[in-house]
């Protein structure tokens, strides 16, 4: 069983203390042995406050998916996500919060993003008029260090998920 560090972007702790994550994962697989497979760790959100809100939206069933950029995954040598893959979502300071499991993967481009895509996100950003500029700014900040920029033909992976573990 392999753990993949898929923490990308700025701000969140990129190399968190693994001991609490290991302890948490052991509780997860003791409770749900079917999750004892290769998994990722990720941080989600641009700061401590939004990360906490996003985790709450997931716990409440209001956020049921997220988005990844193949350009970043390739640059960081992170394997493609796939249906069935568990993801430990960390707090902004690197503590394990919840586990989601990918249920479906879709591929699109940034220019094709519309409400049918963004409706899986948290309530404050579902409107494409909010989602698109927010993600363009965020991804441009991340992509800059790779010599890239967000474009309409940029591939985007849409990862539908379900909450499978929370303490």
Write the pLDDT tens digit of every residue in 84-136: 999 999 998 899 999 999 999 999 999 999 999 999 999 999 999 999 999 99
Which pLDDT belongs to residue 95?
94
Which pLDDT belongs to residue 10?
64
Contact status, residue 39 vs residue 87, Cβ threshold 8 Å: yes
Helix (H, G, I), strand (E, B) or coil at 44: coil
- Separation between Cα atoms, residue 13 and residue 54, nearest integer Å: 17
Which pLDDT belongs to residue 111?
98
Which pLDDT belongs to residue 8?
82
Query: Which residue is associated with the tokens 């700025």?
Result: 10
pTM greater than the 0.85 cutoff: yes
- Separation between Cα atoms, residue 159 and residue 67, nearest integer Å: 6
Which pLDDT belongs to residue 12?
65
Write the pLDDT tens digit of every residue in 70-85: 999 999 999 999 999 9
- Domain extent at residue 45: 3-166
- Separation between Cα atoms, residue 125 and residue 148, nearest integer Å: 24
Question: For strand 39-43 and strand 3-5, is the pairing parallel, antiparallel, or unpaired?
Answer: parallel
Query: How many structural domains are present in the chain?
Result: 1
pLDDT, mean of residues 56-65: 98
Question: For strand 96-109 and strand 39-43, is the pairing parallel, antiparallel, or unpaired?
Answer: unpaired
Alpha carbon dihedral 29, 32, 38, 39, in 10-degree steps, equals: -90
Distance of CA 143 to the CA centre of its chain: 16
Which pLDDT belongs to residue 11?
60
Query: Helical H runs in 46-127?
Result: 48-59, 70-75, 115-118
Query: Helical H runs in 13-75?
Result: 18-31, 48-59, 70-75
Residue scoring higher pLDDT (107 or 16):
107
pLDDT > 70: percent of the chain: 98
| 14-18, 57-61, 108-112, 138-142: range with lowest mean pLDDT | 14-18
pLDDT, mean of residues 25-39: 98
What is the CATH classification number for the domain harbouring 98? 3.10.400.10
């Amino acid at each position: 069983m392999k753990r993949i560090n898929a923490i990308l972007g700025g701000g969140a702790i990129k190399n968190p203390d693994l001991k609490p994550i290991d302890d948490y994962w052991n509780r997860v697989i003791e409770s749900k042995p079917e999750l004892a497979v290769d998994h990722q760790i990720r941080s989600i959100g641009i700061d401590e406050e939004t990360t906490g809100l996003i985790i709450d939206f997931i716990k409440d069933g209001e956020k049921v998916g997220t988005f990844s950029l193949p350009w970043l995954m390739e640059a960081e040598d992170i394997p493609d996500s796939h249906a069935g893959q568990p993801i430990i979502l960390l707090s902004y300071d690197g503590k394990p919060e919840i586990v989601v499991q990918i249920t479906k993967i879709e591929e699109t481009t940034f220019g094709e993003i519309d409400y049918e895509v963004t409706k899986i996100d948290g309530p404050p950003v579902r409107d494409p008029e909010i989602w698109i500029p927010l993600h363009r700014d965020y991804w441009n900040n991340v992509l800059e260090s790779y010599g890239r920029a967000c474009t309409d033909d940029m591939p985007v992976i849409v990862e539908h998920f379900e909450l499978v573990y929370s303490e």
